[in-house]
Amino acid sequence: MSVRHALLALLSEGPKYGLQLRQEFEARTGEVWPLNVGQVYTTLQRLERDGLVESEDAADEGPQKGFHITEHGEVELTKWLRTPPDFSSPPRDELVIKVLVAFELPGVDVHDLVQVHRRYLVELMQQWTRLKEDESRFDLHFALVVDAELFRLDSLIRWLDTVDGRLKRAAAGVSVPAPQSFPLPKARRKVGAPE
């Protein structure tokens, strides 16, 4: 998560103080990612060093010191908003690695292992869903954060379901190509990376 760019975005609405930036950051992110005030000031100092923001009044160094975005900051913000995060290569997902490793181990029932992880993920989803129940305290920002988390956990569960299905088909003798049969050396490179 880029605190740096989130602060730039808040400053693009007009000049703000450090404390105000912290409060607005937490409100906009559904208060799921708390930010300490030290982090806000360190980030603002770096933004100022890089010429992306300027302090309003050099004489006042206290919490009332205001900041505004520079023209260079506006350009940087627009660029950041429109640049997709790097999803081109698969992350080193610990869950995926655990399951892949388990395939090779004698005495490990992969269905059981998958179920342990599935149950944990469903329990986490239940907790997030519980937060949605009371719509009165469920503002739009928080709703979007909770939805993102639910979809992320759900995608992992779907993957576990697929693992179960593929294993079952393989055990029943339905042909499933082994990974070795299509080594695809190019696929090891980043998908979408320039040739």
Contact residues: another protein, CB under 8 A: 32-36, 39, 111, 115, 118-119, 121-123, 125-134, 150-151, 153-154, 157-158, 161, 164-165
Degrees to nearest 5, angle at CA 162 with 159 and 167? 130
Q: How near is the Cβ of 145 to another protein at its closest, in Å?
A: 10
Q: Which is nearer to another protein, 2 or 129 (CB)?
A: 129
Q: Find the shortest distance in angstroms from Cβ 123 to another protein.
A: 5
Q: How far apart are the first and last CA of the chain?
A: 29
> Is 136 or 181 the residue whose CB approaches another protein more closely?
136
Burial pattern 5-19, b for ≥16 Cβ within 10 A else e, equals: bbbbbbbeeeebbbe
Return the number of the residue (119 or 190) whose C-beta is nearest another protein.
Answer: 119
Burial of 22 from C-beta contacts in 10 A (0-12 / 13-18 / 19+): buried
Nearer to another protein, 26 or 54 (CB): 26
The distance of closest approach from Cβ of residue 63 to another protein in the complex, given in angstroms and rounded to an integer, is: 19
Query: Closest separation between CB of residue 154 and another protein, Å?
Result: 5
Nearer to another protein (CB atom), residue 132 or residue 189: 132
Minimum CB distance to another protein, residue 1 (Å): 10
Stated length of the chain: 195
Helix (H) or strand (E) holding 75: helix 71-82
Q: What does the CA dihedral 29, 31, 33, 35 come to, rounded to 10 degrees? A: 100
